[in-house]
Amino acid sequence: MRLVRRISNFEWGALRPAVAIGNFDGMHLGHQALLSALYETAAAKKVPSLLLTFEPLPHEFFQRDIYRIMPLRDKVRYFKNSPLNFLCCLPFEQALATLSADAFISEVLLKRLNVSAVIVGEDFRFGAARQGDVSCLQQAAQKYDFQLQVLKAVQYQGEKIGSSRLRELLQQGKFQQYHDLCGRSFQIAGKVAAGFKMGRQLGFPTANLTIKHPLDYPLSGVYAARVQMAQDPTWHWAAMNVGTRPTLHGVTRLIEVHLLDLQADLYHQSLVVEPLCKIRDEQRFPDLTALKKQIHSDILTIRSKLVKI
C-alpha cells in the first residue's frame, strides 16, 4: 500500500483506478464491505485499487467537536499489509469545501484520477453544502462511462453500523460491542514520549503516548488494557489512563500506560495499546497521597477484571 498525500503527485490517467470514497473513520463492517467491493472491482478491471479519504476529516475542518476514532497513522497501520494499492488523503481545505458536486466529479474524479469505477455507500454525500448524492454520481457515470457501485448500509442486529455508533460504544467502554461491529478490537498505536516522570515518583512508572489532536480518540478515564511492543508478539497486562491528569494541573491529553508485571525501558518504543474495560472516569484528587492511594486501588481492580478476561 502506498500513501499519497496529494493526488497531483501522480499521473493517474493511464492507471484508471477503481476508487472507494469516504471518511472511513473506524473501518467498521460497512467500510469493510466497501473495501471488498473495491478489491473485487479492481481485480476484475485489472486496475489499481484506491481509497480516497480526507485529511482533515470534513467535520474537523468545520470545527465540529466530534472525536476521531482512527487518526491517519492508525489508518496507515490498518492498510499496511492489505491488498489496497493506494491510500489517498485529499486535503480538505477551503478550496475543496466550496467545490460544487459537479466540480468534484469533473476536477477530482475525472480530470485528476480518471476513474474507471467508483464505489460508495448509499448515504454518501459530497460537494459544497453536501449537495451531491448517489443520483448525481449515477448521472455522471452514465455520461462519462465509469462504473458506479452503490452499497447498502450494513446492519448489525437490525441497526445500521456507523462511525457515530462506534464513538458511543468507545465512550461507554463497550469494547466487545465495538469488536462485534468492526470484526477486530479497538487499538491505539504510538511512540512513547518522555514525560515528567511523576508516575515513577508515585511508584507507578508510565509510558506516555501523546495525543496529537485534542479530539483524537473518544476515551477518557482509567482502563484495564494490554500492551504490545514493536517486534514483540507478547501482550502485557497494563493499566491505562487517558486524560489531562487534573490532580497535576495538566492541560494536554495523554495516554499513560503502566505495565503491571514487566519493568522495561519503553522510551521511544512504538506500542500498540488495546483497552479491555473501563474502570472509572478521570477525576481530580486533593493531593498526591490521595492520587497514589487511588492508583493502587485501580490496579487491584484491574487485576481482578483481567482474571475474568
CATH code of the domain covering residue 243: 2.40.30.30
Residue 258 in 3-state DSSP?
A: strand
Does residue 133 share a domain with residue 236?
no
**105 is in which domain, residue-wise?**
2-163
User: Is residue 180 in a domain?
Assistant: no
Does residue 9 share a domain with residue 155?
yes
| Contact (Cβ atoms closer than 8 angstroms) between residue 293 and residue 299 | no
| Amino acid in position 281 | D
171 pLDDT more than 80: yes
Integer Cα distance of 91 and 97 in angstroms? 10
**Strands 221-229 vs 235-243: parallel, antiparallel or unpaired:** antiparallel
pLDDT at position 275 is 97
231 pLDDT more than 90: no
Min mean pLDDT across 4-13, 71-80, 241-250 is at 4-13
Min mean pLDDT across 44-53, 75-84, 241-250 is at 241-250
User: Is residue 283 in a domain?
Assistant: yes
Does residue 43 share a domain with residue 192?
no
User: Is residue 136 in a domain?
Assistant: yes
User: Is residue 176 in a domain?
Assistant: no
Does residue 204 share a domain with residue 132?
no
Please tell me the total count of domains within the chain.
2
| Contact (Cβ atoms closer than 8 angstroms) between residue 73 and residue 36 | no
Give the residue-averaged pLDDT of 244-265. 88
pTM of the model: 0.90
User: What are 104-154's pLDDT values in tens digits?
Assistant: 999 999 999 999 999 999 999 999 989 999 999 999 999 999 999 999 999
User: Is residue 222 in a domain?
Assistant: yes
Does residue 210 share a domain with residue 107?
no
Residues forming a β-bridge with 86: 2, 50
User: What are 184-202's pLDDT values in tens digits?
Assistant: 999 999 999 876 666 667 7
